[in-house]
C-alpha cells in the first residue's frame, strides 16, 4: 500500500466496522419493532434470556457497558414488564435482574430474529460465521490489554 492509500477512508478497518455496525442496527430495527425492543434493549434481553437471575454488574461485564448506560435500559425494560429489578438486602448497591413471564413469551418470538437478519443481510451463513470468528479474535485479543 502506498502513502496515498494508507489514509484513504475506504482502507480503514475502523470505518468498515463503523459502517457495518450502523447497517446491522438498521437491519435489526424493523424486526425488533415487532418485539417492541430497541437494539440496545435486545442486547440486554439476549443476556437475560441466558440467565435466570443476573446482577447489573454482570450484564455490564458481558455487554461492555457501564451501569450509567444500563440503568435507563433496565428501567425501560421494567416499565414494559419484561424484567424485575431486585435490590440485595445485605448490600443495596447490588441489583439483580430477572425476567418476567412476559419476557419468557417474548423469547419465543425472538427466536426468529437471527434467521430474519440472515435473510435480510444477503450474506451467506459461512461468511457470517467467518466474520464472527475474525471479530471475536479482534475483540478478545485486544480487549484485556
Distance, CA of 1 to CA of 11 (rounded, Å): 10
Distances (CA, A) of 103 to 66, 73, 87: 23, 15, 20
Report the pLDDT value the prediction gives residue 143, as an integer from 0 to 100: 77
Distance, CA of 140 to CA of 120 (rounded, Å): 28
**Cell 478478545 identifies what position?**
140
For 60-109, write each residue's pLDDT tens digit.
999 999 989 999 999 999 999 999 999 877 877 888 999 999 999 999 99
Distance, CA of 106 to CA of 109 (rounded, Å): 5
For 113-138, write each residue's pLDDT tens digit.
999 999 999 999 999 999 999 999 99
Provide the CATH number for the domain formed by 9-142 in this structure: 1.10.10.10
Report the pLDDT value the prediction gives residue 144, as an integer from 0 to 100: 67
As a whole number of Å, the end-to-end CA separation of the chain is 28
For 6-49, write each residue's pLDDT tens digit.
999 999 999 999 999 999 999 999 999 999 999 999 999 999 99
**Residues 89, 92, 93, 96, Cα dihedral to 10°:** 50
- The pTM is what? 0.90
Alpha helices in 34-89 (DSSP H): 39-49, 56-63, 67-79
Amino acid at each position: 500500500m502506498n502513502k496515498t492509500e494508507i489514509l484513504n477512508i475506504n482502507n480503514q478497518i475502523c470505518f468498515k466496522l463503523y459502517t457495518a455496525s450502523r447497517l446491522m442496527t438498521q437491519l435489526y430495527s424493523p424486526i425488533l419493532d415487532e418485539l417492541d425492543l430497541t437494539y440496545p434493549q435486545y442486547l440486554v434481553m439476549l443476556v437475560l434470556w441466558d440467565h435466570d437471575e443476573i446482577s447489573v454488574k454482570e450484564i455490564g461485564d458481558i455487554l461492555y457497558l457501564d451501569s450509567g448506560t444500563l440503568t435507563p435500559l433496565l428501567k425501560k425494560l421494567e416499565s414494559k414488564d419484561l424484567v424485575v429489578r431486585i435490590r440485595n438486602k445485605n448490600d443495596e448497591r447490588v441489583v439483580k435482574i430477572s425476567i418476567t413471564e412476559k419476557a419468557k413469551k417474548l423469547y419465543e418470538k425472538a427466536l426468529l430474529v437471527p434467521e430474519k437478519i440472515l435473510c435480510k443481510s444477503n450474506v451467506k451463513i459461512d461468511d457470517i460465521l467467518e466474520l464472527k470468528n475474525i471479530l471475536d479474535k479482534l475483540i478478545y485479543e485486544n480487549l484485556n490489554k
